[in-house]
């Protein structure tokens, strides 16, 4: 068991290889991600877009220098809810060696606190229906399955 405290920071371009590895080290991720060396240019361009957008944050959870968790938070203004802002959490992954040890809980709680700091009225996320354990995890953290979500892949 790791005795170092978990710390959180914004990802840098130097973290991208580890991030893509973690995204692909997953039952669903290994069918949609392409982890190879060198990384495909599409990941670098996406990172640069996220990094240059003040309403997007790519956050890593670390034990010392080792990245053990990731998430992207997007802050969006809405006209609904009286013009309030929302935070959307996406791309959450915990290193397979660290799952079930509380890192995911700390990562999501960090995102909720960050949303409060940014003045958001709501935090939202989605999880694939093929991940019932993830749905249970988020519900334990206070999230409610209050809406039906739809996607159209292009």
Domain-wise residue ranges, the chain: 6-140
**pTM recorded for the entire structure:** 0.91
Q: Which residues contact 18 (CB under 8 A, 6 or more apart)?
A: 67
Residues of the chain with pLDDT under 70: 1-3
pLDDT, residue 1, reads 55
Residue from 88, 90, 85 nearest 46 by CA? 90
Q: Which token pair is 63?
A: 């034990």
Strands 56-63 and 6-10: antiparallel
The residues, ordered by sequence, that sit 6+ positions from 57 with a Cβ below 8 Å of its Cβ are 10, 50, 72, 73, 75, 114
Which structure tokens are listed for 106? 């700390």
Give the pLDDT score at 6: 95
The reported pLDDT for the residue numbered 130 is 87
Secondary structure (3-state) at 26 = coil
Whether CATH 3.40.50.200 fits 6-140: no
Query: Tell me, what's the pLDDT at 150?
Result: 84
């Amino acid at each position: 068991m790791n005795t170092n405290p978990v710390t959180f920071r914004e990802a840098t371009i130097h973290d991208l290889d580890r991030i893509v590895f973690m995204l692909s080290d997953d039952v669903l991720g290994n069918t949609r991600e392409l982890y190879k060396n060198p990384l495909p240019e599409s990941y670098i361009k996406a990172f640069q877009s996220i990094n240059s957008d003040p309403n997007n944050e790519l956050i890593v959870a670390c034990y010392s220098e080792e990245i053990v968790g990731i998430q992207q938070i997007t802050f969006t203004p809405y006209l609904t809810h009286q013009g309030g802002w929302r935070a959307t959490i996406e791309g959450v992954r915990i290193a397979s060696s660290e799952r079930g040890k509380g890192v995911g809980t700390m990562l999501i709680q960090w995102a909720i606190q960050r949303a409060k700091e940014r003045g958001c009225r709501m935090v939202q996320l989605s999880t694939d229906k093929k991940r019932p354990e993830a749905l249970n995890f988020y519900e334990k953290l206070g999230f409610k399955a209050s809406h039906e979500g739809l996607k159209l892949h292009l």
